[in-house]
Amino acid sequence: MGSIKLSVCFNLHRNIGFNPHFCQWRPHSSVRNGSCSVASQYKRRSSTSSSSEEAKCKSSTPQPCLKKVLVPIGAGTEEMEAVIIIDVLRRAGAHVTVASVERDLQIKASLQVNIIADTLISSCGQETFDLVVLPGGMPGSARLRDSEILKTITRKQAEAGRLYGAISAAPVIALDAWGLLTAVEVTVHPAFSWKLSSFWTVTSNVHRDKLLTTSRGPGTAMEFALSLVEQLFGKEKSEEIEKTLVLVPVANGSEEMEAVIVIDILRRAKANVVVASIEETLEVVGSRNVKFVADKLIEDAASSEYDLIILPGGMPGAKRLQKSVSLRKLLREQALSNRIYGAICASPVVVLETHGLLKGKKATAYPSFSGKLLDQGAVNAQVVIDGKLITSRGPGTAIEFSLAMVDKLYGKERAKNVSKGIVYDYS
């Protein structure tokens, strides 16, 4: 998938809790992603700098074939909604402009996450967008509502017959206040539905009525964003984006049971799993002499970006994975980009520990290797999830390990559905 160029400074401080059997995934602390040039050169700017901002906005205008999207943000914007919308639309290939309605580019979102916009809303008044979409949150929705420039942009968007949308509190607080919910059905956050001036409300997660698409809240943001992708690019692109891209590297000596279980369950969950051989040929021979053929060589797979990289164990397979330069680079980039990675059996120690990818993390591994883990705090757990790291003990825990990944990628409901298909009790 293409790189995500959202400038975000996350200030998250959470305690990581562990269950002796299954350790739940908590937000990784002190994450920072400043991939956008605006972030690296960030200086506090006031609204008086609108002329320079306008020049910047025009200079970054994409080619006509690209879809242009405006996502405004303000103090108190719901960060999950904003980031999911921006992430998914950029993955689809849209040129997304994140515009602050405040005097500065940096805003403090509803749960104290600091987000840096690409530009100020004042630079976008003369721009034409294929889609204008408002994240919710309070008082973020009110801050959007109070922006006269955004109000004008959104009204013109609707009058010109172009797409617009809002989620959570924003349909009520902003769109309704601007008179843009007349004679249309909408869905909103349950806590705000009573404030609508009309009675044209529905309770679906996402609802589209003519040009307007609305949604209920953070938990429906992914579905909402995918609906917007479908409207901009078509159903095929939406389905492509929905599929999580997973890399499973294999080598001669990899534990075939672990590899096959991981691949099988993730594919049942509709993930796009790429099996990559680190050998010179696609065919590899597992630790129990089972022969199987990978989809790609690791060098060919290295050009993509993955939502999840997961390593099977087995010896000497783990040692061969550890020696792969291409895989080592992919794993380091995965960790630096705060994307999910993990391993089972011998690989947490032989590969991840060796490459310094378990530093400050709790993990587990096959019992005969777990004593080599620097942090012994969770070595007896079947599956350990610490931030973006997931590890497990061996072949007997591979099903639970795989379903835990499905749970974290797609939610518990999909994990339960997959478990029913393989007749496994997952709760």
As a whole number of angstroms, the distance between CA 164 and CA 360 comes to 44
How many Å apart are CA 124 and CA 147, to the nearest integer? 12
Is the link from the previous residue into 395 a cis peptide, with omega within 30 of 0?
no
The residue-averaged pLDDT of 292-313 equals: 94
Q: What distance, in Å, lies between the first and last C-alpha atoms of the chain?
A: 31
The region that residue 425 occupies, defined by phi over 0 for left and psi between -120 and 50 for alpha, beta otherwise, is: beta
pLDDT of residue 16: 25
pTM of the model: 0.58
pLDDT tens string 181-236? 888 899 999 888 777 766 677 888 999 999 999 999 988 888 899 999 999 999 98
How many H helices and E strands in the chain? Answer: 16, 21
Q: What are residue 213's DSSP bridge partners?
A: 165, 208
CA of residue 379 relative to chain centroid, distance: 28
Sign of the dihedral defined by the CA atoms of residues 40, 92, 72, 111, in that order: negative
Say which DSSP state 341 is in. E
Give pLDDT tens digits for 352-378: 999 999 999 999 999 999 999 989 999
In angstroms, the CA 166 to CA 281 distance is 50
| Closest alpha carbon to 355 in 386, 323, 310, 385 | 323
> pLDDT grade, residue 92 (50/70/90)?
confident
Confirm whether 9 is a catalytic residue: no
59 Cβ partners below 8 Å, 6+ apart? none
Return d(Cα 12, Cα 388) in angstroms, integer.
14
CB atoms within 10 A of CB 307: 18
pLDDT band at residue 238 under the 50/70/90 scheme:
confident
State the pLDDT at residue 65: 57
- List, for residues 383-402, the tens digit of each pLDDT value: 999 999 999 999 999 999 99
The SS3 assignment for 206 reads: strand
Q: What are phi and psi of 116, to 5 degrees?
A: -105, 120
What tens digit of pLDDT does each residue of 327-345 get? Answer: 999 999 999 999 999 999 9
Say how far apart CA 410 and CA 404 lie, in whole Å.
10
Q: What is the token pair recorded at 378?
A: 């969770």
Q: Give exposure, 254-282, as e/b (b: 16+ Cβ within 10 Å).
A: bbbbbbbbbbbbbebbbbbbbbbbbbeeb
Residue 325 makes CB contacts below 8 A (sequence gap 6+) with none
- Which amino acid is residue 2, in one-letter code? G
pLDDT of residue 243: 74
Instruction: Identify any residues that bridge with 99 across adjacent strands, giving them in sequence order.
Output: 72, 119
User: Which residue in 23, 36, 124, 345 is the catalytic one?
Assistant: 345
